[in-house]
Structure 1
Amino acid sequence: MTKPILKPNERIDGLPSQNINIIQNPDMFSYSLDAILLAHFAGVKGKGHGLTVDLGSGTGAVGLFYTPKVSGQVKLVEIQPELAEMAKRSINLNDLADRVTVIQSDMKAIFDEIKPGSVETVLTNPPYFPINESTKTNIDEHYEIARHELMINLPELAQITNKLLKNNGKVYMVHRPERLADIFSAFAMRKLMIKRVQFVYGKPNREANMVLIEAIKSGKSGGVRIMPPLTAYTESNEYTPEVQEILYGKAWEK
């Protein structure tokens, strides 16, 4: 591991099972369990030689946690320069500069950097909340962009994903269950056929607060598989054994 260069208020958070560390600034934005679960949920096609793109990567958590699962190149796309710069330092911190790069750009303008139809896998932890007249956004600009659809909405994200992916390439997304109808509609209109869904529950006997989705470009309609549910915490606020294994157990299977 390369010696880190930290700025004021920054810290290093790690994922022991993948031996990956991320530089973060809690005053700007920090990844949470949803990023880890998305990287764990995302599959690998073949031997993992193809190009992976993490859209809206923030500090790079999803893409970096996923990188040990594959052997190909990983590109992190982030619009906010401060977060993109932290991601670059995390790449160096983990000695992954030979395989992982950052594109600091609006994802709508990345096709000069990434050739359409060249991507095997898209990962995305997009803004969860739509913008409307009653929306109360966060005071902090970094959190506003990360959490609310200020810069990109679901139909736009689905269109960009479709353009990036090869035929039969896959996209993996984490989102909120209440947006499922919007997700299914946006994906179906852009030939992204949803194939796997897994609901995540904060605690036992509660409503799901997260959903993990796999879709394939130009796949056949139908055949959606609902995977066994995942519960994050026990009633005593400890990680469940399954989540403990994801966080601290053996390296994830490739």
Structure 2
Amino acid sequence: MRAPEQLGPYRYTQSDTSFPLGQDSLALASFATLRRGDRVCDLGCGGGALLLLLAARQSTLTLSGVELSPEDSALARRNLSENGLTGEIYTGDIRRVCKTLPAGGFSLVISNPPYFKAGSGGDGGTARMEEAALTDWCAAAGRLTKNGGRFALVHRPERLTELFLALSRSGLEPKRLQLIQHDAHTPPSAVLVEAVRQGRPGLEVLPTLLMNRRQSYGRHFISGTHPHRQPGGHLPADGGHSG
């Protein structure tokens, strides 16, 4: 196990074999629109970091997660329990597990899915290679999200066309988009997207989020104490820091 990490009021333990918590997940947790009483499901929840980060922003959530790895599923349950939180963590492939969960049962589905197709030569390592395709992640989110509910995720900018097509086929309309880049001289490395189930057309493009690799990201901002936090749940373009 890696040393526990403080995420707002919660302590997060992650295993040596799981994909480490990174700035993309932190940005996603801040980007997603949260409302009191939301029923949240994290697809590919790993050790439960996103669930902790969201609970730090809003204490009235009902938390659920789906994770392929039995070890990470057990760790997610432990992380919730040791922080005094309750939630349901389901173990298995999202393509199967999500068919057993109630359709339209969640007001927010969130995910940081693998970025690279299997065999694509992407530089993310095996933990960031797809087993389920991007269309499968969107289909699972489309099934679980109630009408008017949101699906928030982070992915690679070069896959935006594929992502938007998959969202549309799953009844999810992209409504908010924010690019992430590490400095003003490099191309964006990731993109945050929030879609609404059966939403009306109309996409809001937010200012680019700059995240300097060399500075501390300031994980405490998730709890609402970050000096650059905005009410809309995202950082201003010049407020991001890497971890």
Same fold? TM cut 0.5: yes
Q: What secondary structure is seen at the aligned counterpart in 2 of 1:197?
A: strand
Q: Which residue of 1 aligns with 2:155?
A: 175
Q: Which residue of 2 aligns with 1:120?
A: 107
Report if aligned partners of 1:232, 1:239 keep a CA contact under 8 Å in 2: no
Q: Which residue of 1 aligns with 2:207?
A: 228
Q: Which residue of 1 aligns with 2:15?
A: 25
Distance (whole Å) between structure 2 residues aligned to residue 90 and residue 245 of structure 1: 17
Which of 5, 19, 28 is equivalent to 1:13?
A: 5
The size of the alignment, in residue pairs, is: 228
Q: Which residue of 2 aligns with 1:52?
A: 40
Which of 130, 148, 154 is equivalent to 1:149?
A: 130
Report Cα offsets for 1:4-29 as digits up to 9, x if no partner: xxxxx4321122xx212211123433
Distance (whole Å) between structure 2 residues aligned to residue 163 and residue 56 of structure 1: 15
Shift of 1:102: 1.3
1:42 aligns with 2:32: yes
Shift of 1:208: 0.6
Shift of 1:248: 8.2
Q: What secondary structure is seen at the aligned counterpart in 2 of 1:200?
A: strand
Say what the alpha-carbon RMSD is for the aligned residues.
Answer: 2.4
Distance (whole Å) between structure 2 residues aligned to residue 68 and residue 52 of structure 1: 13
Query: 1:189 corresponds to which letter in structure 2?
Result: R
For structure 2, which runs of at least 5 residues remain unmatched after alignment?
Answer: 234-243
Distance 1:229 1:246, change over 3 A: farther
Shift of 1:220: 1.4
Q: Which residue of 2 aligns with 1:4?
A: none
Report Cα offsets for 1:60-97 as digits up to 9, x if no partner: 11121112333131101101011111111111221112
Q: What secondary structure is seen at the aligned counterpart in 1 of 2:4?
A: strand
Distance (whole Å) between structure 1 residues aligned to residue 173 and residue 151 of structure 2: 10
Q: What secondary structure is seen at the aligned counterpart in 1 of 2:212?
A: coil
Q: Which residue of 2 aligns with 1:250?
A: 225
Distance (whole Å) between structure 1 residues aligned to residue 164 and residue 77 of structure 2: 33
1:129 aligns with 2:116: yes
Distance 1:228 1:244, change over 3 A: farther
Report if aligned partners of 2:9, 2:223 keep a CA contact under 8 Å in 1: no
Structure 1 runs (4+) deviating above 3 angstroms are: 134-138, 251-254
Structure number with greater Rg is: 1
1:214 aligns with 2:201: no
Q: Which residue of 1 aligns with 2:215?
A: 238
Q: What secondary structure is seen at the aligned counterpart in 1 of 2:150?
A: strand
Shift of 1:109: 2.1
Distance (whole Å) between structure 2 residues aligned to residue 248 and residue 115 of structure 1: 30
Distance (whole Å) between structure 1 residues aligned to residue 21 and residue 222 of structure 2: 14
Shift of 1:125: 0.3
Q: What secondary structure is seen at the aligned counterpart in 1 of 2:13?
A: strand
Query: 2:177 corresponds to which letter in structure 1?
Result: V
For structure 1, which runs of at least 5 residues remain unmatched after alignment?
Answer: 1-8
Report Cα offsets for 1:160-186 as digits up to 9, x if no partner: 111111111100001111111111111
Q: What secondary structure is seen at the aligned counterpart in 2 of 1:155?
A: helix
Distance 1:248 1:49, change over 3 A: closer
Q: How does 1:175-194 map to 2 (within 5 A)?
A: 175-194=155-174
Distance (whole Å) between structure 2 residues aligned to residue 160 and residue 23 of structure 1: 27
Distance (whole Å) between structure 2 residues aligned to residue 232 and residue 11 of structure 1: 24
Query: 2:128 corresponds to which letter in structure 1?
Result: R
Larger CA deviation: 168-177 vs 113-122: 113-122
Q: Equivalent pairs: percent with the same residue?
A: 27
Report if aligned partners of 2:182, 2:210 keep a CA contact under 8 Å in 1: yes
Distance (whole Å) between structure 2 residues aligned to residue 161 and residue 28 of structure 1: 23
